[in-house]
Structure 1
């Protein structure tokens, strides 16, 4: 009799504890907040999303998924009904996406509002308004996966062709040809070193020749300037020609002045011009007779009579 009393007491205790635990669970899971109903309709796959899943607005929990089923208004679409806190700032530009949390892969509804509209979304529990559901990052990746795989396959095919035996042989041949070309350039540079060494001397001789030509040109220019000056003096007012028109006596004076001062100077200028032209002609003849002198110089002069090494014309050396 006593054992039955103990068993009954234990059973009553277990029932009371179970009832208390049930009440505690109900109290912990109670939801006293006021919420509004909204609907989402999509043709996309919503794998991982379950009833009672969280609804977040920019990462903040604001509700849960109440129902998942088929949309009777749009054939073939999936209908998701969510309840959202009344304080959630939803507008007519708000939209939703399906996201996954962590490594568990459990889905939740993410609400966003990046649009320009500030008109609040009016709730109606009898006919809940619908929020657009846009593809999430995972959905976009899955939609593009086929294209990405095709591109990867095409790239691998091209890479295999590029690394084929024929192309590898061609590449090795090109490398060898580049090496041979480099060797040829080095050999050519070695051959050009003596010529490059003679370039400074050639430049000096060319500079001396150019100075001579410049001197001759300066003489000619100076002569031309003097002739021009003389002509201006002759044509100036009250000049020799003007005075020549005034009378024979002025003509005689002008002729004497011209003969005494200008003609000797013209003779000197003509002599200088002739000397410059002869010097230029000798330079041109020397280059014409011995063109290599521009590179190697004139060399030693030919010995004259009485000098060692002189050989008279017609005699054997």
Structure 2
């Protein structure tokens, strides 16, 4: 009986110690969990490489781990990731989250960065908390990390690579290859022809250099001639222009004097046109009539002599017919 009672006492003591140990572990877990802070992150991209227990780093310093991964039910385009971080990690306004790969193993981590000094911490507001914190914990905004940028731009990159490949394929078709070969062959022939014409090209370049030098000398001479011409214009043409201006002024004065004389003679001219011209016309008509009469007298003198002016014209003798 004593042996059985000893075994029961030992078993009871062991059970009590195990219960106390379990309670201590639970208390320690609660204490540790209460020391951590929880945040939600909504990623609008694939979260490949992230799993429950994946590390969370703040500016490269390990600061927590991923606690939960689930789809965001109001909008399945997003993935909700809940993280726990240490109490002393400064999750302030301006802090953002991104996914970054760790080496080439395919494993990724949540990277936090961008805290602003003296900024307030990210927390759920007292008003309208359901909109800002739909799951009861603050939200950390996201930014596109290196892996996210690569994954988001991968379709465009593949499309551009496909387009480039198609264009290269069209460029390197058989027809274009023949054309390129013909161009290269013609280029080779042109190179050989230029090599053969090397001395002639050198002579042409030398002549061109001499022609350029002569052109420079001619340009200098033209400049000197222009200077001489300017000097001649300054010395000779300017006095001539002054004399010409004087002559023009004198001619203008003469024209003004003539205009005044014409103005003064205008009444006499009007009287001459109204009185003298008709009288001259009558005189011309009388002279014409006198000329006709003199012509008739001269004709009579020519026919009958001077006696025809005194008597009448003698009739011819009439002889009767037998």
Taking structure 2 as the reference length, the TM-score comes to: 0.46
TM-score normalised by length of structure 1: 0.47
When Rg is computed on C-alpha atoms for both structures, the one with the higher figure is 2
**Structure 1 or 2: more helix by fraction:** 2
